[in-house]
Chains A and B, each alone.
Chain A
């Protein structure tokens, strides 16, 4: 036979179905974020690990100018080294008929007849190279998809200033280019960056590298000391223009991936904790109120002889059903979010397999966590009531308000409507409940604000990076340093309004035991197309000597203004010099170091040369400009700001919209959940009183005003608190996710604050409206015949 108390569980659940739904949704959102974050984190780790393992990803990398293959044997003899594989890699330009815009490429040699030993390729389409056809090539999947290139298509590549046609044999993925980018920007530029793999012999011929190599990939033997091995490699390669070996952490693709993983790891702990904390807190508030509202029932059950245990069990069942419903919603939602977010990862990270990993333990943890949180929340309320003697519990819980605040009335003679006094006494008479409700509503605001903030952050980043710091329209890179006349030549191109030469060299910065590989940019003191800025966005003059360093880089190296840093130039004559940090700049993208162009050239002992130029041109003549630049033999690569901005917006916008929608909907859920439940319980507690007023001649809206002004007070108090909390939460999360690729500015527009406030207000208003409709349906007659 079904236990009668179990029938009560069912009936109670049904009677409170809207409340149950809002609570379940709240639990569901906490669970959803947990499920999403953890399964995505696991997915990325799993995808990376298996890709790296399957394709034998190298541990060490070294670039050099040119070395005879005979040297490879000596490197193999280094203690602690594993597999060593020499390659030829070169920056190239790809020419397409359908665009004048520059497409950069990197060509990498592979054995024509077999997979390389390290950094093997995962073929996704087509086949391996045919050793008999030196004009065959493999291309990276990202570019193939972006430009719709298929096996069998032709690709025109400028190799060593000579245009050469290749036939695409296959499309591949490489662990070296999971995240392919050609600059410090944290974005994959799939349409304008291509990785090409060609037969070693063919490349050696094209680059005059027979019997030689300019790139090494290596593995470490187990237990080897990375710094010592690197030191040995550097020693051996120095005579051949080696610019220093490095490990995975300095390979752009891996660095970005590690950054993302570190962030996901933080977020998969922080975000679910925040969400679950919020959900647990709200559960406490809502379920506490729900149990309080049943105090008379609990007292009656006790009076009838039910012990505390069956009563506790009864509420355990009630709450557990809600928690289970919440977990079910959360797991389904979480899986769905995970799939959408993974989808947006695919644009950034190219893995052979990247699927959300919904491990069974995640589900178990989620369900257990929700049951425990919900029962803790309800349990304390049940305990409070069960402790009371039945007779005491049966008495209405109102004396609190009655005892409180008689002085409020003394000031009411000036015409303050008594409805407001009633509302105020209800609010202030139970300060803790009010506080909990206010905090609960306040918690909705940061989530909505956090969702909206991303749009502001992106706008700000675009404005600062592309509007104020990089003021040119495009940047061209020369294949080797050129004299300043090359810049004059650029200036003479019709359509180019101005051109400013820059010298960019690879450096290793050392400060104590800390070191960081980056590039050092030489800028003319008169530079107008690139303007470093401080925190207030004011331009910083290029100091005549010493280093101008971006703040995050200085922080990484634990440097401040006035400190000395050892600068090891990694090319040319490889001078090493100690320089003083004279100023810090506040860039958003990348870790940069800058010095005056003349000073850098003196340091390099190279004369007045540049290897890059920022351009400003007339947009109308852009096509002509690009056609002319394509023909300049020394121009190796170019990037166009407008393309970057579009890319930035397109790639990041997708992720941000998903994030904003998820966060804002959770914020809305919280607002609706808290406000609806508070209003519903307040209504339940005061239905009798409100109906009495209706009988006394108060209109529906006058009666609703009492309940709604109570809510309005709480909501209006909660919103400013929520906005402040939102600002703090954003600062916290931005700090936690601070990473090398880019710094997210805490730039929140006033409009976003206003929108977050309005969204929460609207959710509250909608919930109040639902309760208002209950007031309209109050049973007036019943009130006459029942004691409260």
Chain B
């Protein structure tokens, strides 16, 4: 039984990215309020959202629009004030810290704005670190190959450029063959050329591994790569677009 998507899905969208069947991620009435009393701050207001298997979704919006909060809830890092969020059969709302850790460990790959690599581990070790706790990881070398870094295996993060570091982060995120890849401003700290390399790596992962991918960004140029683009504003989904044709990362300019 699948709920009919209310605000952010359409038959065309499903057809556009060629995925059928039930959505893997289902959120209903997600609301997140910071602070209480006279002036509560609404980060999310009653959001409904479905995400399908293999979909490349871009969440677009200025800072304060709620996109990070939404990503944090999707990633099991934050809990909504009300509403429900479910990943396949994992109920994310009300789950214990241990259950959320387990969820992140088994299903989620994260890419951070500032890479968050472990400085005392080499490139290969950073990737292997996550492979070590995954159930069915790909070889770390293969993950690095996928992002074009097989020649940098034994460098330390401080010996790499920002773009290279972010690609290591992508490799680290995908080595566990995650079901969903969550990227938080992955190009935020990078120049355009380097940013494109990173986006290309993410697109490759989405295409070749079929990993459901959610990228949040305030850079609207990136939306061309997506199957679907959600614009957030003041904690609400302001608009939803489906790209009939996805643009390759190399074709994006900003």
Contacts and interface: CB of A to CB of B under 8 A. Distances in A.
Tell whether A pairs with B.
yes
A784 B110 CA distance: 10
A364 interface: no
Given A418-B132, A698-B133, A785-B113, A693 B106 contact: no
B120 A422 contact: yes
Contact of A698 (B77, B97, B105, B113): B105
Interface hub of A418, A692, A780, A788 (most chain B Cβ within 10 A): A418
A45 interface: no
B78 A781 contact: yes
Interface stretch (A12-20, A22-30, A397-405, A504-512): A397-405
B162 to A, nearest CB: 11
A702 B172 CA distance: 18
Contacts of B172: 696
Interface in A766-788: 780-781, 783-788
A22 to B, nearest CB: 27
Contacts of B120: 398, 401-402, 421-422, 425-426, 429
B158 interface: yes
A787 B114 CA distance: 6
Interface in B43-90: 68, 72, 75, 77-78
Interface string B162-190: 00000000001100100000001000010
Contact of B108 (A697, A698, A787): A697
A688 B117 CA distance: 10
A697 B157 contact: no
B222 to A, nearest CB: 18
B184 A694 contact: no
A775 to B, nearest CB: 12
B158 A399 contact: yes
A572 B83 CA distance: 109
Interface string A689-728: 1001111111110100000000000000000000000000
Interface residues of B, number: 40
Interface residues of A, number: 37
A788 B117 CA distance: 11
B124 A409 contact: yes
A362 to B, nearest CB: 48
Nearest to B118: A689
B212 to A, nearest CB: 17
B116 A418 contact: no
B101 A692 contact: no
Interface string A462-502: 00000000000000000000000000000000000000000
Interface string B113-136: 110101111101100111011000
B125 A402 contact: no
Contacts of B106: 697
A401 B125 contact: no
A99 to B, nearest CB: 71
Contacts of B101: 694, 697-700
A406 interface: yes
A784 B118 contact: no
Nearest to B126: A418
Given A402-B119, A409-B122, A697-B104, A781 B156 contact: no
A784 B68 contact: yes
Nearest to B114: A787
Contacts of A786: 114
A692 B112 contact: yes
A640 B62 CA distance: 93
A422 B158 contact: no
A391 interface: no
A426 B120 CA distance: 7
B116 A783 contact: yes
Interface string B147-164: 000000010111100000
Contact of A409 (B72, B119, B154): B154
A409 B156 contact: no
Nearest to B131: A418
Contacts of B184: 784
B1 interface: no
A409 B156 CA distance: 11
B98 interface: yes
Contacts of B108: 697
Given A417-B132, A783-B116, A412 B125 contact: yes
Given A422-B120, A697-B176, 20 more contacts: A399-B119, A401-B120, A402-B119, A409-B154, A418-B125, A421-B125, A425-B120, A692-B116, A695-B75, A695-B110, A696-B104, A696-B129, A696-B173, A697-B102, A697-B108, A784-B77, A784-B112, A784-B113, A785-B68, A785-B113
26 contacts: A396-B119, A399-B158, A402-B119, A406-B122, A406-B154, A406-B156, A409-B121, A412-B125, A417-B132, A418-B121, A418-B129, A422-B120, A426-B120, A689-B119, A693-B118, A697-B102, A697-B104, A697-B176, A698-B133, A699-B105, A700-B101, A784-B68, A784-B72, A784-B113, A787-B189, A788-B114
